[in-house]
Amino acid sequence: MTFINSIKLFCSNWDKVLKLFLYYLFVICVTALLLLPVFFAFDEIIRDNLQNSAVTTNYLTMFHSSFGVYLHGVMSLIVNIVRDAFNSNVGLVIYAGIVVCLFLPFLFNIGKYVVCEMLYGYMANKSKVGFFSALFKTLNKSVLYALAKTCYDILFMAVILVSVFAVGLVESVNFQTYFLPLCEFLILVVLFTLNKISTTGWAPAIIIFGVSVGKGYRRGVKTISRRFFKTLFVNLISDLVFFLFTYIAGVYSLLLTIPLITALLCTFDMITFFTCQGMRYYINSKIIMTPKKLEEVDSFKKAKYII
């Protein structure tokens, strides 16, 4: 029911989704411009490694042989390109890492916080706040939240990358053929899900209670724990669908799916938090949802142990 209400809230706030999409598109364009020197500097390295690798850039030819073997070749290619780039220009590689791992997610997280702020106004009293008005109004909190969330995500991404490449670089052909794609898929889905569920209530707690970033994280985790397994299941399914769609549609589909998925997850985060707190909220101009009061939920959980 929570996910269905999220979709309804998502549809009734389509203007916010469009604004987030345009904001993300702007951020991606700025990031691409910042990375142009990197592309020009390492263009020859990338071309040389592609020519010396068995990996082809043709998307369809991966099906002529084992996809696991193809995946192993792609990861080996990435490792070789990164190694050669480090040997060529360490400073430029560090610059690229800062842009991709800090600058880009930092601005993405600011956008997510602003959308959550806009959704809070609509859910609480149907008020409509402009994107830039919410951005400047919450700039202090959104910047602190984005910094903390970016650092938190970097730790998770480090674990994900180490896990993915540790498994992907296994040399056994039998493992590559029969197990590698499934293992990589499960690693990505499980770790991304754990990351998302641990931060589901972070932004809503800061916005609703007006607390600091640190207290917001603690209150968010405590609140979401009341519906932990339901939230875990929805996040697991959403990640599953996201990775399957990206695999089928290709990497370029991320330009469309990331803003849409982010906006949908913002609505899901807010509705989950409201529901866990027993707070009434609007999902459109006519429907008001009234979850069970917080006291009723906690009393029931205590009573079942007595029974």
The answer on pLDDT for 285 being more than 60 is yes
DSSP helix/strand/coil, 113: helix
Strand partners, 282: 288
Whether the predicted pLDDT of 300 surpasses 50: no
Q: How far apart are CA 118 and CA 110, in angstroms?
A: 13
| Torsion 249-255-105-91 (CA) sign | positive
Distance CA 183, CA 68 (A): 10
Taking 80 as the threshold, does the pLDDT of residue 203 lie above it? yes
* H helices present in the chain, as ranges: 2-12, 14-52, 67-88, 90-98, 104-125, 131-137, 139-168, 173-178, 180-199, 202-209, 213-224, 228-249, 254-277, 294-306
Domain ranges of the chain: 2-306
Query: Can you tell me the distance from the alpha carbon of 214 to that of 149, in angstroms, rounded to the nearest whole number?
Result: 11
Kindly report, residue by residue over 68-91, the tens digit of the pLDDT.
787 888 888 889 999 999 999 999
Question: How do residues 244-282 score in pLDDT, each as one tens digit?
Answer: 777 676 666 777 777 788 888 888 889 889 988 888 888
Q: What is the pLDDT, as a whole number, of residue 84?
A: 92
Please tell me the predicted confidence (pLDDT) of residue 144: 95
More confident position, 303 or 226 = 226
The torsion defined by the Cα of 77, 82, 87 and 91, in degrees rounded to 10, comes to 160
What predicted TM-score, i.e. pTM, was given to this entire model? Answer: 0.83
Higher pLDDT, 149 or 294: 149
Check if the beta carbon of residue 103 is closer than 8 Å to that of residue 34.
Answer: yes
Q: Which pLDDT tens digit goes with each residue over 100-157?
A: 999 999 999 999 999 999 999 988 888 888 888 888 989 999 999 999 999 999 999 9
Report the C-alpha gap between 114 and 219 in whole angstroms. 19
pLDDT band of 209, cuts 50, 70, 90: very high
